[in-house]
Amino acid sequence: MTIVLGDNQYGKAETHLVRVSRDGETHRIKDLVVSIALAGDFGASHLAGDNSKVVPTDTQKNTVFAFAKEAPVGESEEFALRLARHFAADFVSVHRARVTIEEHGWSRIEVGGRPHPHAFASAGAERRLTTVTSTKDAAWVVSGLSDLVLLKSTGSEFWGYPKDRYTTLEETRDRVLSTGVLARWRYGRLDVDWATAFTRARGALVEAFASKHSLALQQTLYAMGSAALEACSDLAEIRLSLTNRHHFAVDLSPFGLENANEVFYAPDRPYGAIEGTVTRDDAPEPGLAW
Amino acid sequence: MTIVLGDNQYGKAETHLVRVSRDGETHRIKDLVVSIALAGDFGASHLAGDNSKVVPTDTQKNTVFAFAKEAPVGESEEFALRLARHFAADFVSVHRARVTIEEHGWSRIEVGGRPHPHAFASAGAERRLTTVTSTKDAAWVVSGLSDLVLLKSTGSEFWGYPKDRYTTLEETRDRVLSTGVLARWRYGRLDVDWATAFTRARGALVEAFASKHSLALQQTLYAMGSAALEACSDLAEIRLSLTNRHHFAVDLSPFGLENANEVFYAPDRPYGAIEGTVTRDDAPEPGLAW
Amino acid sequence: MTIVLGDNQYGKAETHLVRVSRDGETHRIKDLVVSIALAGDFGASHLAGDNSKVVPTDTQKNTVFAFAKEAPVGESEEFALRLARHFAADFVSVHRARVTIEEHGWSRIEVGGRPHPHAFASAGAERRLTTVTSTKDAAWVVSGLSDLVLLKSTGSEFWGYPKDRYTTLEETRDRVLSTGVLARWRYGRLDVDWATAFTRARGALVEAFASKHSLALQQTLYAMGSAALEACSDLAEIRLSLTNRHHFAVDLSPFGLENANEVFYAPDRPYGAIEGTVTRDDAPEPGLAW
Amino acid sequence: MTIVLGDNQYGKAETHLVRVSRDGETHRIKDLVVSIALAGDFGASHLAGDNSKVVPTDTQKNTVFAFAKEAPVGESEEFALRLARHFAADFVSVHRARVTIEEHGWSRIEVGGRPHPHAFASAGAERRLTTVTSTKDAAWVVSGLSDLVLLKSTGSEFWGYPKDRYTTLEETRDRVLSTGVLARWRYGRLDVDWATAFTRARGALVEAFASKHSLALQQTLYAMGSAALEACSDLAEIRLSLTNRHHFAVDLSPFGLENANEVFYAPDRPYGAIEGTVTRDDAPEPGLAW
């Protein structure tokens, strides 16, 4: 028996960059958390502590900040492409560079009904995501969003499921449906209007959640995924991970009260976890995208 | 030497209630995390395990759910008043009941440009707060907000401070100012239009942050507090706790680049913590409000 | 009506210091998160942005690091006393300095059964706490611990409580009792062997939790507090905040199974919150300790 | 173009089970957070809301609690095997069941120097992990640990790396090395003494971290993985994800002080992320283990 090194990668995670751009009096900000992972010819570092091919993670961090000055950051996808291609192209030892960006949104504050030129409020917990993977020859872009939380107070049922000796759940024709959305979609091409594509995909996900009468969160997932693919032809595939944030109607009968789906308690755990991929049948191969 | 029991209180914390109200097709939701703390004649439980005066925390939780059905929840302040007065009035042993509510906001989803009747998206991390304290004779209301995060990309200076042997900070005439806001204001009366007062106070805080040219976060704090008191005569006093979320300009000179306040890194810790009270000189006594 | 500035303080929060001490081959580490809050003559900064009396929080941070080199850190209480007295004594504008330290513990790794001279593993989530408050004339020390989580699988009852129309809880003569402990004790003097006092107080809290047959978490709280005061005469007063981390026996009867307090589910929220102070009747006045 | 459903799975996540076992006076507790994911013939639920093959996640939760009573829980691996095989074998529609358990440890409290029969203290933040994947014919076990945090105050170097125009890091022959460990190892067989294997693998990881003089965290990773494989022949493969928790020596020169690797600040972000697999060259195929 011999012990051998298998797959490996390394990089700097969670470099928090805030980029301010000035267009005269009016400022814009991009608030990005950038994580980098490099795979390649790094066996000597593992086996012998020979770092002659190891781009320090500190250098990776510096590169993020320098790149944010050397050219406009643009959309997260553009910035991630620029970074990933740099590491894959400029270092012989790097065979695959992956750059993941979480973007935090800011809304412009209104003062006296007019947008303020340089004051902003955090737009909330939702994050826009992108992951770009680059080799020396090719690149792939996966974008998405996380921490989007949705709720329908009706228009959701759950019944017709198999019962066994451990089943106690009552069937229901009306329940609250709430979900935390993690969506990641793979683009089938690189010449995309990233901002527009994001807006369309996000809008389709949210509208489908609201509009689709739901017999199962699985059905809602498929409707959301299909809607995103239909709304934006640049998307080849979408992977959705939806938590089922249970809202249980409280039994008020001990207090002589009825509860017609009005009073709910919302436990933190356990929760349902529904995951699925929706794809075009003619989608290009994913390559190293994921 | 004798050992004695001092101040004490107990209650059920963080009961998560979601209340759905139906106005025909159109639903509204209130998403509240309710915490209760009772003080009173509970020495026997501490000293002898005699619980004959101890309203179980489980009963407190049940009361939250039952009250949400027995009458309209209304604004958080109204619901907290109803709960706090119940515990203080209906149990001889309870001398002081305090009910704290964190309200999580939801925005109505738009579908095809029109608000959906029963689908919502989480409005973000910000929380609306209220704490009501009630004795058998009186009640006090403190409301506020937390997890509001603001940022100005210019319009902030910091200079003129004392230097000692441990000072290395450079003075600056232009910096990013970002703060996480915890605001709690005491109402001077109980016949308040709670929703309007909240909207006015919050608006004043945000506008003052944006508008006030800042020479110190302390100065911004005072401006924010003053603006809230001026915007809403129901407020007697406001207490602000502002984190100074540092944004440091990255030194890009090793890369031959200038950084004219464009590229920042934003560390998580340490951070500044600025706390202050702004009050009317004719404010009524706070009593047990805090 | 005039608007006026009330109580205020500011400082640098959560400076994370790791201090390595070398005793020949054998190293020791102190891992401290230090927060500083200064109160004093800072009205001009709030009202006019005049910072001539405002010791920058950046300087406060530097002072933490410099002080960690200029003299041995010692116990957290000693380090906090040194820092707090410096700010109160050396700056005319500072009337009261408060330094809070959270200490994270590390255990020495054993290799081949022998303690390693310079390798450590994190000792867990529990934190040792101290808060020192200093004026120009006096100082007070409050120490304690947080994030200590305890559980008894039997030896806990809860019954004899009042019932009202919202009561559904069944009385029990046997339950799981689990609590997250936040303990803060005030020392009655400053010439204390801090490490020994901490060890004694913590030991007494834990042993009392385990040994005391419990009729209420309130009773356990008082027993824990009394035990700490008895174990260490340096303690004047102790304030305990205990969460009641409910463990509910699962109803297994739908599956034809009995559950004799063997199978529990442990929800995150809501939880009970029991707070109380235990004190000596001859304790010195607290002054500005809290 | 047609839109199609791709890979999907669903289940109940994070059911928190606490199991008390009584051996006369002496109690033992197992504190487990159980997550279940089922893959199989669930297309009809996605496409048409037909749930006739969808085992409700509520039933999955019930099964966890019932199984904890019907037979001894045993080691996490045994419990996960029992659950995973049940879902894969007893439901035609389930092609693959995956059960992941996070185990939280508890230490017995000592009272008067003797272990207490039924009182425990939380053993800290570290978690023992297992993931069992079962089809109708086969099963795979991956175990591991998370949230183990290690630190060496010397015995770590980093130099010899490539420099480019973005490199500013100084080479060092002596630094603090601290890492948060996520380790997951695949067993090559199912007839394993799980408790002993865990103890050996964990011990080897910790001892290797302490003992290996480190020229790179990559080198330490490989040493840790190799040591685990050597310590326990049941392990086929180990995957390590190590964060590099930077400790930077503070520049004390502005204060006229030297800092011979004694005073460090420890930022939260960014951090290094080093991932690698160490495997036996004759390891059995992983199948569906990961």
Instruction: Kindly list the residues from chain A whose CB atom is less than 8 angstroms away from the CB atom of residue B111.
Output: 207, 210-211
Average pLDDT over residues C156-160: 98
Q: Inter-chain contact C265–D65, Cβ cutoff 8 Å?
A: yes
Cα dist. A219→A158, A215, A278, B74, C81 in Å?
11, 7, 12, 35, 62
pLDDT of residue A103: 98
D interface mutation test: which of A7, A38, A70, A166 has the most D CBs within 10 A?
A166
In order, the DSSP letters of C13-75 are E-EEEEEEEEETTEEEEEEEEEEEEEEES-HHHHHH---TT---HHHHHHHHHHHHHHS---S
Q: Is B179 in the same domain as B281?
A: yes
User: How high is the mean pLDDT in each 10-residue block of chain D (290 residues)?
Assistant: 95 98 94 98 98 98 98 97 98 98 98 96 96 98 98 98 98 98 98 98 98 98 98 98 98 97 97 98 96
The CATH number of whichever domain residue A214 belongs to comes to 3.10.270.10
Q: Identify whether D247 is a catalytic site residue.
A: no
CB contact at 8 A, D96 and D136: no
Q: Provide the residue type at B289 as one letter.
A: A
Average pLDDT over residues B171-182: 98
Number of domains in chain B: 2
Alpha helices in D18-56 (DSSP H): 43-48
**Interatomic CA distance for residues D248 and D261, integer angstroms:** 9
Looking at B137, B164, B183, which one is the last position of a domain? B137
**Which residue's structure tokens are 């209906």?**
B90
Q: What pLDDT digit, counting tens, does each position of B26-41 carry?
A: 999 999 999 999 999 9
**Interatomic CA distance for residues D187 and D185, integer angstroms:** 6
pLDDT of residue C23: 84
Q: Is D100 in the same domain as D10?
A: yes
pLDDT of residue D1: 74
Looking at D115, D137, D159, which one is the last position of a domain? D137
Q: Is D108 in the same domain as D187?
A: no
Give A263's pLDDT tier (boundaries 50, 70, 90): very high
Give C257's pLDDT tier (boundaries 50, 70, 90): very high
Q: Inter-chain contact B120–A262, Cβ cutoff 8 Å?
A: no
Q: How far apart are the first and last CA of chain C?
A: 32
Cα dist. D77→A166, C176, D187, D200, D280 in Å?
22, 25, 11, 16, 22
The residues, any chain, with a CB within 8 Å of residue A150's CB and separated by 6 or more, are A178, A179, A181, A206, A209, A210, B109, B119, B120, B121, B122
Q: Is C126 in the same domain as C160?
A: no
Average pLDDT over residues B112-122: 96
Instruction: Kindly list the residues from chain B whose CB atom is less than 8 angstroms away from the CB atom of residue A266.
Output: 16-18, 31
Cα dist. C136→A289, C76, C87, C263 in Å?
63, 21, 9, 57
Q: Identify whether C12 is a catalytic site residue.
A: yes
DSSP, res B262: -
pLDDT of residue A211: 98
Cα dist. C161→A220, B51, C124, C167 in Å?
47, 5, 37, 10
Question: How many CB pairs below 8 Å do chains A and B form together?
Answer: 184
Question: In terms of DSSP bridges, do strands B94-111 and B114-134 run parallel, antiparallel, or are they unpaired?
Answer: antiparallel
DSSP reduced 3-state for D88: helix
**Which residue's structure tokens are 């945090």?**
D149
Q: Identify whether C152 is a catalytic site residue.
A: no
Length of chain C: 290
DSSP reduced 3-state for A266: coil
* Shortest distance, CA D261 to any CA of chain B (angstroms): 20
Q: Is B148 in the same domain as B284?
A: yes
Q: Could you give the ipTM of this predicted complex?
A: 0.96
Q: Inter-chain contact D155–C118, Cβ cutoff 8 Å?
A: yes
Supply the range of the domain harboring residue B239.
144-290
pLDDT of residue A1: 74
Q: Inter-chain contact C122–D119, Cβ cutoff 8 Å?
A: no
Q: Is B108 in the same domain as B164?
A: no
**Which residue's structure tokens are 């900070």?**
B169
Q: What pLDDT digit, counting tens, does each position of C11-70 carry?
A: 999 999 999 999 889 999 999 999 999 999 999 999 999 999 999 999 999 999 999 999
Nearest beta carbon to residue C218 from set B10, B15, B218: B10
**Which residue's structure tokens are 């809008």?**
A203
Q: Which helix (H) or strand (E) holds B16?
A: strand B15-23
**Interatomic CA distance for residues D156 and A107, integer angstroms:** 45
Give B23's pLDDT tier (boundaries 50, 70, 90): confident
CB contact at 8 A, D220 and D212: yes
Question: Considering only CA atoms, which of D74, A272, C51, A107 is closest in space to residue B107?
Answer: A107
Q: Is D218 in the same domain as D79?
A: no
Give C189's pLDDT tier (boundaries 50, 70, 90): very high
**Interatomic CA distance for residues B91 and B88, integer angstroms:** 6
- Tell me the pTM: 0.98
Count the Cβ atoms, other than its own, within 10 Å of residue B191. 6
Q: Is B129 in the same domain as B17?
A: yes
**Interatomic CA distance for residues D105 and D148, integer angstroms:** 12
Q: Inter-chain contact C168–A269, Cβ cutoff 8 Å?
A: no
**Interatomic CA distance for residues D8 and A277, integer angstroms:** 6
Question: Considering only CA atoms, which of A143, A146, A155 is closest in space to residue A217?
Answer: A155
Q: What pLDDT digit, counting tens, does each position of B239-277 carry?
A: 999 999 999 999 999 999 999 999 999 999 999 999 999
Instruction: Kindly list the residues from chain D whose CB atom is less than 8 angstroms away from the CB atom of residue B166.
Output: 255
Looking at C109, C137, C165, which one is the last position of a domain? C137
Q: Is C129 in the same domain as C179?
A: no
DSSP reduced 3-state for B44: helix
Give B200's pLDDT tier (boundaries 50, 70, 90): very high
Instruction: Kindly list the residues from chain A whose CB atom is less than 8 angstroms away from the CB atom of residue B150.
Output: 109, 119-122
Q: Is C183 in the same domain as C97?
A: no
Q: Is C150 in the same domain as C276?
A: yes
Q: Is D161 in the same domain as D283?
A: yes
Six-digit token pair at A174?
A: 């009306």
Average pLDDT over residues A36-65: 98
A226: alpha, beta or left? (left if phi > 0; alpha if psi -120 to 50): alpha
